[in-house]
Structure 1
């Protein structure tokens, strides 16, 4: 006897389907909550994280002090490079004083660990100070006005920036590039909260170094990255000099530079071209 098969239950069909995730209609309440938590985790804003994993004691003829390694990273697995700088307690103290001058009320609850008057070099004291300074940086970052303050990025980059430009002025371009790349890494991590033109001096210095190292492709790429923020935010001090370098390197590399040349000619007609080359501008930075 022929028996007609009953139609397959649609819910059961959805559950059996190997293609894609199950529909919301067949998810349990627990599964829906787990999916929602996963979506929220993916949508969390990027944050800066600070870690002080190690310290060093520096002994000189007339002084002895501790330096703290400060690692700067962004939250999330996409930040593959952990860049670090070394700072003394006096650097933290200077930062705190500068911030208090501008944001006294906002920093009422942010406390800098006190200076130790004794046992400064005791391992237990250094370990405690290391963790306290790590918490201090987290508290600073949690304060909105600090995240946007120039004092914050100067604390994290200025000593290395000065060292890099000193190497550049001395003609030690390879060492300068290594230092500048570390500075650029930190600046790019800071960019969501700092002035969009923050990286222009660093990229300009890299372009100058790469050109003198006879690496025109890298020099062109660095200058090309620096140009958009100078246009958008009116950083005219660098704009014409970057264009001149790009046009010159573009001809050398066989890149199309007609639009760059036209932009440079327009600036010249307006009298917006200074007499300094990009290298002259860079050399006088951070003196």
Structure 2
């Protein structure tokens, strides 16, 4: 395991080797490259806390035709097959201070239906904050969960980073094994940070272009954590449906609605009816067959669903409740 990690970190090791060949006057700055772990970060540094899907295609020009891949396809129904692997560690420096960004690969095991990998970047302080919050919320569980300690100043080697990377892999895997922690707000926040709140905020503010970007960033992560039938995943997909309709990208909206219908799970009939009616309107706009969808709406009406609300209205009500 150690050999494989050291191999993955060769690119990062070159940073250290090049620095050692510089003038001795720069040696002090190199020793402080883990300054964040020594609480010496200056106000001018901020880590890269980005979320991205390796195969995600996001349209940037609404006037051009493009091939759009919905960030999930509705077939990944379980979240128990996810593994975490630190695939790189990047030194981010500014002057005599700095930190290390750890790139974490989230992927289903090889027997899972979906194999699209998802990557997040986090720094030591993010892990540390997660650990502190979980110790407050789940003291009995966290009493037996090991957390990597801060390293000594100047102990900045490929071997040290590889060991730290292995420790973080084991840490996340251990946390993920606890149902209560996996579905906790603190564990979710570690992986999506403010992006979920930003997606909701832009949607409610009717800034649909920005809302789309954030929904697409967090959707692959939510899928890996919870599976496709979780309400968070469905809300993101429905958010994409409405947002792309408002942006007049009807083909993309219809593609998202198809996936959303696969991810309904145990959702209530009212939301199901709203999504179905939206899908019917999209099919009518695009000249697609809608008979199966109309039959499903009739089935819901026979169950007592008499009023079908607009999906945008339902989502706004849901998101405003979440933001309060």
TM-score by length of 2: 0.57
Gaps of 5+ in 1: 1-44
Match of 1:135 among 170, 179, 182: 170
Provide the aligned C-alpha RMSD in A: 4.1
Match of 1:251 among 284, 298, 318: 284
- Deviation digits for residues 29-54 of structure 1 (CA, Å, limit 9, x no counterpart): xxxxxxxxxxxxxxxx9622110111
- Deviation digits for residues 130-178 of structure 1 (CA, Å, limit 9, x no counterpart): 22212211222233433344433332234443455577668573x7656
Contact 1:180 1:202 in 2 (8 A): yes
Structure 1 counterpart of 2:4: none
CA distance in 2, matches of 1:123, 1:81: 29
- Deviation digits for residues 230-268 of structure 1 (CA, Å, limit 9, x no counterpart): 5723386x5565355334323313433534665589655
CA distance in 1, matches of 2:222, 2:208: 22
CA distance in 2, matches of 1:154, 1:224: 28
CA distance in 1, matches of 2:218, 2:313: 23
* Relative contact order, higher structure (CA 8 A, sep 6+): 2
CA distance in 2, matches of 1:140, 1:82: 20
Q: Secondary structure at the match of 2:187?
A: helix
Q: CA deviation at 1:196?
A: 2.6
Larger Rg, first or second structure (1 or 2): 1
Q: CA deviation at 1:120?
A: 7.6
CA distance in 1, matches of 2:250, 2:193: 27
CA distance in 1, matches of 2:249, 2:107: 29
Q: CA deviation at 1:210?
A: 2.7
Structure 2 counterpart of 1:56: 90
Point out the more displaced range, 275-284 or 210-219: 275-284
Point out the more displaced range, 47-56 or 220-229: 220-229
Contact 1:247 1:261 in 2 (8 A): no
Structure 2 counterpart of 1:185: 220
Match of 2:313 among 249, 265, 277: 277
Match of 2:230 among 196, 199, 221: 196
Q: CA deviation at 1:85?
A: 0.6
CA distance in 2, matches of 1:170, 1:124: 49
Gaps of 5+ in 2: 1-78
Match of 2:101 among 42, 63, 67: 67
Q: CA deviation at 1:203?
A: 0.5
Q: Secondary structure at the match of 2:232?
A: coil
CA distance in 1, matches of 2:108, 2:151: 31
Match of 2:275 among 242, 247, 264: 242
Contact 1:100 1:107 in 2 (8 A): yes
Q: CA deviation at 1:224?
A: 4.1
CA distance in 2, matches of 1:56, 1:264: 56
Q: CA deviation at 1:72?
A: 0.5
The answer to whether 1:96 aligns with 2:131 is: yes
Q: CA deviation at 1:90?
A: 2.1
Structure 2 counterpart of 1:126: 161
Contact 1:48 1:75 in 2 (8 A): yes
Provide the aligned length of Structure 1 versus Structure 2: 238
